[in-house]
Amino acid sequence: MVFRLFFGCGEGDDIAEPAISIRGLAYRYRGQEKPALDGVDLDVAEGEFVVVMGPSGAGKSTLCTTLNGLVPHFFRGRIDGEVEIRGRSTRDGKVGEFAREVGLVFQDFEAQLFSTNVALEVAFGPENFSVERGEMKRRVEGVLGRVRLEGFEGRQPATLSGGQKQRLAIASVLAIEPRILCLDEPTTDLDPVGKLGVFEIASELKERDDVTLIVVEHETEETLEADRIVILREGRVVTDRPAREVLRDVELLQESRIMPLGVARFFHEMGLWQGQLPLTPAEGLREFRQRGWQIDAGRHRELVAEDAEREEGYGEALIEVEGLSHRYPNGVVALEGVDLAVRRGEFLAVLGQNGSGKTTLVKHFNGLLEPTEGSVRVEGKTTTEQGIRTLGQTVGYVFQNPDHQIFSDTVSDEVAFGPKIRGLEEAEVEERVKEALAAVGLTGYEEEDPFGLTKGERQRVAVASVLAVRPEVLILDEPTTGLDYAEQRSMMDLVRRLNESGSTIIVVTHTMWVVAEYAHRAAVVRDGRVVLSGVVREVFAEEERLRDASLRPPHIVSLGNALGHTVLSVDEMLRVAGKGER
Amino acid sequence: MDPFLYLDRDTFVHRLDPRTKMFLLVGAFVLAFLFLNPLYGLVVLAAVLAFGALARSLSNLGRIRFILVAIALVTTALWCIFASGETPLFLFVELEALLYGIGVALRISTTIIAGMIFLSTTRNEEITTGLVKLGIPYRFAFAVSTALRLVPAVATTGATIGQAQRSRGLDLDEGGVLERVRKRVPLLIPVFVSTIRSTNIFSMALESKGFGASPTRSYFLHLEMTRRDAIVLVVVALLLAVALYLRFAGYGGLEGVTR
């Protein structure tokens, strides 16, 4: 440890060669006008843990692919500057040669797993390097132990949960025994406990094996273990400082379109100066108590009363689920005995870990799936008698990946598809397109090619195309996945506006702050059953039971819970917290 | 959904060397195409099915039952119409033509079923390694196994996309042939886009794991021809010899059909 710190601090010292040295790196993909990277300088010392953050399009993934030479060897484009891995320029060798030094794990773990069982997946790397069989077996065993997948050797990767798949992807790279490991947004598709698992493993690798870690991450709560945080914007490094220092700089994070830590932001707003800011709920609790601050119980009762008032305001039950069970053709029971009602005007979050059955549940609401047992009624009639086409008028469904539905040449054609197919007249269709695009803030994009838009914008096109049918209920499956903080905010603000203007909203997600700040009610699915449901405030008060379902409330909620009063956002905390100087 | 056809079971067939299974597969093809007489064809099909039952791999046939039945019916019907024979049966259809149709349908079904049993009992990696041991260059063998994997993977993506478009009101089962083809455009474009994207990531991941980095390569799977393989190979070789003898002695053909 001491040595590592020593080497880590010595800028440009000649005692130890840095693991990674990047000088004046610029890269422009062929056919792009703007460079993806624009003059990056970065040194990473042996054994360091660096987190790279920044908004979408800042060049984070490109930076990752420069580390093993995919840029410039795999992609076409123009490169300037130098990337050296332990003293060797990536220009001077093939990607395969650098694979020995740098293990690269991509964000999309589904696309990188291709073997028929876990052991073979892990062995693929060593096979390529002609590692002898006995040694290969030893490595497979060792690496699986390290990512906690012992005993999974014979399992098919497709049958693993999201977190397990991501850990397998890491293991398959670790088996090559690289000294540097680069993970590109390893936790984007994972539930909170799955995220934690990946970071625990990363920390262990650093501690035990002195592996140098570069991790791209956009959720601030996951970055606490890092040594350094590097923030990229428009292809440039704008910040490169010790992690805790960056995390305390609330204003810098907000400027960089990164969500600040809830606890830090709360104390910042309460007027503490930067150096004093606590970061974790535990640190926050200590600080709160030491300062003798109080939660104003009266103001907290106001919050609870507002929740109750909102509950009163809902209309009749639109979707009624009774004793719903679903068995897939291969015999897997995905849902069992689910009872649930969604009233008109509600904003419901369906929560649960990867593979818990939450998506299966909501797919019953628009008739994509039919109950094996029990019934689902929409506006009083069962989904089975209505059929998917009729139900589509009442229940709109926005799929997780917008690229699974977009196919038109222009945005307006895409949005017009739903109304047209339902035989509406041209004038009416035009009217609907205009209205839907306005609702998602894409007025003026009518003639754009949807494939040229950013992920956040494509997501909006997908929402607009569903809105154009004017459904009563809007289901959104993981609407914030793959978006940066600013895009997530604007997406959820949009959903909130739709809810306020009368739509009933059902969001499937495991992004906990989104639930806390936007949803009214939450239903927690675990192993195919709804184990917890109610007003979000009540659900998030049950931290233990959430953890059983692999969920973890945001830091600020945990702080409130520890103080005996559940709050759902920093703003609520500011409302109820008093400095208590009487 | 499961992107592989392989069924992880511990049976006699699963334990055979992939090279033996490849020989078996070729043997099944030869047998299927040797005889036109539906009676003989049925015997071959029964043998293949029995082998599949031994491998406990017939459940995969359920996945393709629709295609199997459709191909069999269409083939039989077409040959009934287009082939002619001597013995009138009903309307314009002759007995020989019907038998010929059934014979061809059996051939096709048997080859498909045999292929399915092969894929259900042989790991993708075993196919690769087996091909390499037979002298095929690794890159080519890997390409073969990747192609085999791609088909079910694309089918899975297609199913998701189909759900997304049906949710938007797309009804695929309405209208004439042209109309139906046109209606599939909303499915095809996203399938292409997603497949190209994930193939791109896949090839980056391959490079990043050192694919082709060193001229030689080791294999995690250890292939070994055992006595079991030898017995199976001898039995199949004998069977083929007997079948060839029978065919050349004039059995198993079909007389009186003109195309």
- Which has more pLDDT, A483 or A347? A347
Where residue B2 falls among pLDDT bands split at 50, 70, 90? low
| pLDDT, tens digit, 9 for 90 and up, residues A352-383 | 887 789 999 999 999 999 999 999 999 999 99
Q: For residue A16, what pLDDT band results from cuts at 50, 70 and 90?
A: low
Searching chain A, which residue's CA lies closest to the CA of residue B138? A128
Q: Count of CB contacts below 8 A, A vs B? A: 169
pLDDT at A236 over 90: yes
Q: Rounded CA gap, A195 and A182, in Å? A: 16
Chain A: residue whose CA lies nearest to B171: A389
> Does position A582 have pLDDT exceeding 50, yes or no?
no
**A40, pLDDT greater than 50:** yes
What pLDDT is recorded for position A431? Answer: 93
pLDDT of residue A580: 65
Contact A99 B125 (CB under 8 A): no
ipTM of predicted complex: 0.87
Q: Which amino acid is at A288?
A: F
Closest by CA position to B17, among listed B257, B242, B247, B228: B228
Q: How far is B107 from chain A (nearest CA, A)?
A: 29
Q: How far is A384 from chain B (nearest CA, A)?
A: 15
Instruction: Judge: B169–A422 Cβ closer than 8 Å, yes or no.
Output: yes
Q: Does A96 touch chain B (CB under 8 A)?
A: yes
Q: Is the pLDDT of residue A8 over 70?
A: no
Q: Categorize the per-residue pLDDT at A13 as very low, low, confident or very high, splitting at 50, 70 and 90.
A: very low
**pLDDT at site B62:** 86
Q: How confident is the model at residue B3 (pLDDT cuts 50, 70, 90)?
A: low
Q: How confident is the model at residue B179 (pLDDT cuts 50, 70, 90)?
A: confident
Contact B163 A117 (CB under 8 A): no
**Average pLDDT of the residues in A78-103:** 94
**CB contact B37 to A (< 8 Å):** no
User: Could you give the CA distance from residue A479 to residue A459 in angstroms, rounded to a whole number?
Assistant: 8
* B3 at interface of A, judged by CB pairs closer than 8 A: yes
CB contact under 8 A, B217 and A128: yes
- Write the class of the CATH domain A305-551: alpha beta
pLDDT at B171: 82
Percent of chain A with pLDDT over 70: 97
Compare CB distances from B209 to A99, A132, A158 and report the shortest one's residue: A99
Mean pLDDT score across all residues of chain A? 92
In a mutational test of the B interface, the residue from A90, A116, A420, A451 whose CB has the highest number of chain B CBs within 10 Å is A116
Task: Select from A96, A97, A404 the Cβ nearest to the Cβ of B164.
Answer: A404
Element housing A131 (H / E): none
Sheet holding A317-327, edge to edge: A333-343, A317-327, A373-378, A381-382
- The domains of chain B are located at 18-149+242-248
Residues A417-466: tens digit of each pLDDT:
999 988 899 999 999 999 999 989 899 999 999 988 888 899 999 999 99
Cα–Cα dist B83/B100, whole Å: 8
B-contacting residues in A 145-164 (Cβ below 8 Å): 154, 156, 158-159
Subunit contact A96:B207, Cβ cutoff 8 A:
yes
Q: Is the confidence at residue B1, as pLDDT, over 70?
A: no
Contact at CB, A176 and B6, closer than 8 angstroms: no
| Chain A contact set for B221 (CB, 8 A) | 120
Distance from CA of A65 to the nearest CA of B (A): 9
CA–CA distance from A464 to each of A51, A417, A494, B68 (Å)?
A: 35, 11, 11, 42
Interface test with A, best of B128, B209, B218, B221 (most A CBs within 10 A): B209
Which residue of A115, A126, A405 is in closest CB contact with B125? A115
pLDDT at B120: 93
Which positions in chain B touch A90 (Cβ < 8 Å)? none
The per-residue pLDDT for range B28-62, each reduced to its tens digit, is: 999 999 999 999 999 999 999 999 999 999 988 98
To the nearest whole number, what is the mean pLDDT of chain B? Answer: 90
Q: What is the pLDDT of residue A543?
A: 95
Is A360 near chain B, with CB under 8 Å? Answer: no
Q: How far is B30 from chain A (nearest CA, A)?
A: 29
Q: What SS3 class is residue A582?
A: coil
Mean pLDDT on A516-529: 96
Answer yes or no: do B208 and A466 touch at CB < 8 A.
Answer: no
Residue A405: list chain B partners with CB under 8 A.
161, 164-165, 168, 186, 190
Q: Would an 8 Å CB–CB cutoff place B256 in contact with chain A? A: no
Fold: same for A1-86+179-260 and A305-551: yes
Q: Which of B125, B194, B203 sits opposite A116 (nearest CB)?
A: B125
pLDDT value at residue A211: 93
Most confident segment among A318-332, B20-34, B50-64: B20-34
**Cβ contact A128–B214 (<8 Å):** yes
The CATH code of domain A1-86+179-260 reads 3.40.50.300
Is A115 within 8 Å of B170 when comparing Cβ atoms?
Answer: no
The residues, ordered by sequence, that sit 6+ positions from A129 with a Cβ below 8 Å of its Cβ are A100, A176, B210, B213, B214
Whether the predicted pLDDT of A3 surpasses 50: no
Domain boundaries, chain A: 1-86+179-260, 305-551
By Cβ distance, the residue of A97, A106, A421 closest to B169 is A421
Assign A14 a pLDDT band (cuts: 50, 70, 90): very low
Nearest chain B residue to A471 by CA distance is B168
Contacting B residues, span 84-143, partner chain A, CB-CB under 8 Å: 123-125
Contact assessment for residue A88 and residue A169, using Cβ atoms and an 8 Å cutoff: no
Percent of chain B with pLDDT over 70: 99
- Distance from A169 to chain B by nearest Cα, in Å? 10
For A:383-442, CB contacts with B below 8 A are 388-389, 392, 396-397, 399, 401, 403-407, 417-418, 421-422
The predicted-structure confidence for B228-252, as pLDDT tens digits, reads as follows 999 999 999 999 999 999 999 988 8
Please give, one letter per residue, the 3-state secondary structure of chain B: CCCCCCCCCCCCCCCCCHHHHHHHHHHHHHHHHHCCCHHHHHHHHHHHHHHHHHCCCHHHHHHHHHHHHHHHHHHHHHHHHHCECCCEEECCEEHHHHHHHHHHHHHHHHHHHHHHHHHHHCCHHHHHHHHHHCCCCHHHHHHHHHHHHHHHHHHHHHHHHHHHHHHCCCCCCCCCHHHHHHHCHHHHHHHHHHHHHHHHHHHHHHHHCCCCCCCCCCCCCCCCCCHHHHHHHHHHHHHHHHHHHHHHCCCCCCCCCEC
Q: Does A359 touch chain B (CB under 8 A)?
A: no
Q: Is A128 on the interface with B (CB under 8 A)?
A: yes
Find the CB nearest A96 among B160, B169, B213: B213
Give the C-alpha separation, A501 to A490, whole Å: 17
Q: What is the pLDDT of residues A171-227, one digit of tens each?
A: 999 999 999 999 999 988 888 888 888 888 998 898 888 899 999 998 899 899 899
> Can you give the pLDDT at residue B151?
83
Amino acid A579: pLDDT: 81
